[in-house]
């Protein structure tokens, strides 16, 4: 999904209604908002396609009103346009009624036959507010559009998607859910969960966010659900070191290794920790795995430990500022006891994989020991084991992550193509800066080690997880298809360096364009 201009805040469907109401209370006419929305959609269409026969499908509400504006604006630019509706005799009211009356051409009955011979479909049927399956007639339209492969532009959201859930309320149509698959979606003011969460995100195509003139101050009436995870929302960029820095001031990360046959995951995490900027990384190895770990590490130190007491002694000796437990550590009482013991020290924890599943039978025991800066990094399966009641409900992924963070009392990084990072006090971020190529064995171990690196350097859990998710995704984008987990750590320094160059360039550009100071 492409998204521009850069956006940060995420609003629910009700939040958008509240923002619109706030704008109207501030003197911005609803009719003005609708004209701005329709104009924005028409502008984006004109940028991408030359004039061609187009059909605009208008629904009974405000989304349909936006569609009438699009039809009028396209016609003004020489496009042959036809408008169709579920009910051509529908009495549109309010602002949508104003726009319908300004369309001085016939309105046809919505039907699949209207798609024939068209070069563009504009979906203005339902938008984000739909909470029921699309009617049969619209289902036939969706199937016909899929079969003919005609470009589809969705206003706000592809019809059939629930704006807060990011999924359809209806049955699947062919390989897709019961919603249009758009090539372009133009939405307004802020993104909704469905623009970011799967499967909705994959149905939106390119997403353009348009400013329609909501005045400042709207957040007091419509608090955002969260924000998109980009470097612009981080308090600091990683690796913000002074020139006289030394390795111990860059953080001391420890990673717990598993048995001899499963040491690779911990080594990947440790390597990511070193590439992520931790000054000193130690792989804590059970006695039986010492030889294999020593043979496969150079800059990463290896130290023997045995049992919870041995772990605490090793953490004290290394003066660890962060600890990663879980990758390849094994599921069971041994890992369970290591985690509980580690919470007795100040080192912030990243708990991944086996460290999470080891608490499946009593997650509350884990939650009682966690601290605010600890980070949990479950995928959906591990999340369901640790938070069964939350996972089995009807919450969307943003709501699930937030509820889990509240239950655990720390940061929860819920992995996936739509990774969600939540903290009970810091809020929620959604990371979509990633690549499908990251779906490979060991990728999650690298992510855990990267989060550990930033914890070790003194970042809070929410910031550490946010930076790790974005940079991990950026490495995947840089490397592309065919990457393996071993490739990822080496791509991290280039990603950070590019961020710093971009930040300097932006700062210089702002300085050049800022008004001159006057005496």
Q: Is 379 annotated as a binding residue?
A: yes
What's residue 248's pLDDT?
65
Q: Is 178 annotated as a binding residue?
A: no
Q: Let me know whether 306 and 162 are in one domain.
A: no
Q: Is 373 annotated as a binding residue?
A: no
**For the chain, the helix, strand and coil percentages under 3-state DSSP, each to the nearest 5:** 45, 15, 40
Q: Is 419 annotated as a binding residue?
A: yes
Q: Is residue 513 part of a domain?
A: no
What's residue 3's pLDDT?
47
Q: Is residue 321 part of a domain?
A: yes
pTM: 0.92
Q: Let me know whether 223 and 327 are in one domain.
A: no
Q: Residue 126: give its domain's CATH number.
A: 3.40.50.10260
- In the sheet that holds 280-285, the strands lie side by side as 9-10, 226-228, 427-431, 419-423, 411-414, 375-376, 348-351, 322-325, 252-256, 280-285, 301-304
Question: CB-based contacts of 145: which residues, under 8 Å, 6+ apart?
Answer: 115, 121, 152, 180, 181
Q: What angle do CA 398, 403, 408 make, to 5 degrees?
A: 125
What's residue 240's pLDDT?
66
- Give 7's DSSP letter: -
Task: Determine contact, residues 472/447, Cβ cutoff 8 Å.
Answer: yes
- Bridge partners of 121, per DSSP, are 55, 152
Q: Let me know whether 309 and 178 are in one domain.
A: no
**Percentage of residues of the chain with pLDDT beyond 90:** 80
What's residue 155's pLDDT?
97
Q: Is residue 31 part of a domain?
A: yes
Q: Is residue 246 part of a domain?
A: no
Q: Is 487 annotated as a binding residue?
A: no
Distance CA 44, CA 60 (A): 23
As a dihedral over the C-alpha atoms of residue 136, residue 140, residue 146, residue 147, rounded to 10 degrees, the angle is 150
Q: Is 130 annotated as a binding residue?
A: yes
Q: Is 62 annotated as a binding residue?
A: yes
Structural domain range at position 396: 251-505
Burial of 135 (0-12, 13-18, 19+ CB in 10 A): middle
What's residue 171's pLDDT?
54
Q: Is 114 annotated as a binding residue?
A: no
3-class secondary-structure state, position 490 = helix
Q: Let me know whether 383 and 495 are in one domain.
A: yes
Q: Residue 465: give its domain's CATH number.
A: 3.40.1190.20
Point out the domain boundary residue: 194, 227, 260.
Answer: 227
Q: Is 63 annotated as a binding residue?
A: yes
Q: Is residue 33 part of a domain?
A: yes
Instruction: With a cut of 70, list the residues of the chain below it in pLDDT.
Output: 1-7, 169-178, 240-249, 515-519
Checking DSSP bridges between strand 301-304 and strand 81-85, what pairing results, if any?
A: unpaired
Q: Let me know whether 327 and 215 are in one domain.
A: no
What's residue 431's pLDDT?
97
Q: Let me know whether 12 and 124 are in one domain.
A: yes
Q: Is 265 annotated as a binding residue?
A: yes
Q: Is 293 annotated as a binding residue?
A: no
Q: Let me know whether 118 and 202 are in one domain.
A: yes
Q: Is 368 annotated as a binding residue?
A: no
What's residue 244's pLDDT?
63
Q: Let me know whether 283 and 182 are in one domain.
A: no
What's residue 519's pLDDT?
43
What's residue 241's pLDDT?
60
Q: Is 66 annotated as a binding residue?
A: yes
Q: Is residue 10 part of a domain?
A: yes
Number of domains in the chain: 2
Q: Let me know whether 222 and 257 are in one domain.
A: no
Q: Is residue 343 part of a domain?
A: yes
Q: Is 445 annotated as a binding residue?
A: yes
**Intra-chain end-to-end CA distance of the chain, in Å:** 48
What's residue 113's pLDDT?
92
86-91 long-range contacts (CB < 8 A, ≥24 apart) are 86/59, 86/60, 86/110, 86/125, 86/135, 86/137, 86/138, 87/60, 90/60
Q: Is 444 annotated as a binding residue?
A: yes
Q: Is residue 243 part of a domain?
A: no
């Amino acid at each position: 999904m492409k998204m521009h201009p850069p956006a940060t805040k995420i609003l629910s469907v009700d939040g958008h209604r509240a923002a619109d109401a706030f704008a109207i209370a501030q003197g911005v006419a609803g009719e003005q908002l609708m004209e701005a929305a329709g104009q924005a959609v028409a502008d984006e269409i004109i940028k991408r396609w030359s004039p061609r026969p187009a059909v605009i499908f208008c629904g009974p509400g405000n989304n349909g009103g936006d569609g009438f504006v699009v039809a009028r604006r396209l016609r003004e630019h020489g496009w042959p346009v036809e408008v169709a509706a579920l009910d051509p005799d529908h009495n549109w009211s309010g602002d949508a009624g104003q726009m319908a009356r300004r369309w001085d051409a016939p309105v046809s009955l919505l039907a699949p036959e209207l798609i024939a011979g068209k070069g563009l479909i504009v979906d203005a049927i339902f938008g984000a507010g739909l909470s029921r399956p699309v009617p049969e007639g619209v289902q036939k339209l969706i199937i016909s559009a899929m079969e003919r492969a005609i470009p589809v532009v969705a206003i706000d959201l592809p019809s059939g998607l629930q704006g807060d859930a990011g999924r359809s309320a209806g049955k699947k149509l062919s390989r897709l859910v019961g919603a249009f698959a758009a090539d372009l979606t133009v939405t307004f003011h802020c993104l909704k969960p469905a623009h970011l969460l799967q499967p909705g995100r994959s149905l939106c195509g390119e997403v353009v966010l348009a400013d329609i003139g909501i005045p400042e101050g709207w957040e007091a009436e419509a608090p955002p659900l969260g924000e998109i995870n980009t470097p612009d929302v981080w308090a600091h960029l990683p690796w913000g070191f002074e020139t006289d820095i030394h390795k111990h001031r860059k953080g001391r990360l420890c990673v717990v290794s598993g048995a001899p046959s499963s040491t690779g995951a911990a080594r990947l995490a440790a390597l990511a920790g070193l590439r992520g900027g931790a000054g000193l990384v130690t792989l804590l190895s059970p006695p039986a795995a010492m030889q294999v770990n020593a043979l496969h590490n150079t800059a990463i130190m290896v130290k023997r430990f045995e049992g919870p007491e041995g772990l605490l002694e090793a953490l004290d000796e290394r003066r660890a500022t962060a600890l990663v437990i879980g990758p390849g550590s094994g599921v069971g009482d041994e890992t369970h006891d290591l985690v509980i013991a580690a919470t007795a020290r100040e080192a912030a924890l990243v708990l991944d994989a086996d460290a999470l599943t080891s608490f499946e039978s009593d997650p509350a025991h884990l939650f009682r020991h966690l601290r605010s800066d600890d980070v949990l990094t479950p995928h959906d399966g591990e999340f369901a084991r640790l938070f069964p009641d939350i996972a089995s409900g009807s919450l969307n992924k943003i709501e699930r992550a937030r509820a889990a963070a509240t239950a655990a009392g720390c940061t929860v990084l819920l992995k996936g193509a739509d990774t969600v990072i939540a903290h009970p006090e810091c809020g929620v971020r959604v990371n979509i800066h990633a690549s499908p190529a990251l779906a490979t064995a060991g990728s999650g171990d690298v992510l855990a080690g990267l989060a550990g690196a930033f914890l070790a350097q003194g970042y809070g859990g929410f910031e550490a997880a946010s930076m790790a998710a974005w940079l991990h995704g950026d490495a995947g984008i840089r490397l592309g298809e065919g990457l393996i987990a071993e490739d990822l750590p080496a791509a991290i320094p280039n990603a950070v360096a590019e961020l710093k160059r971009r930040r300097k360039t932006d700062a210089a550009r702002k300085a050049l364009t800022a008004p001159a100071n006057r005496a």
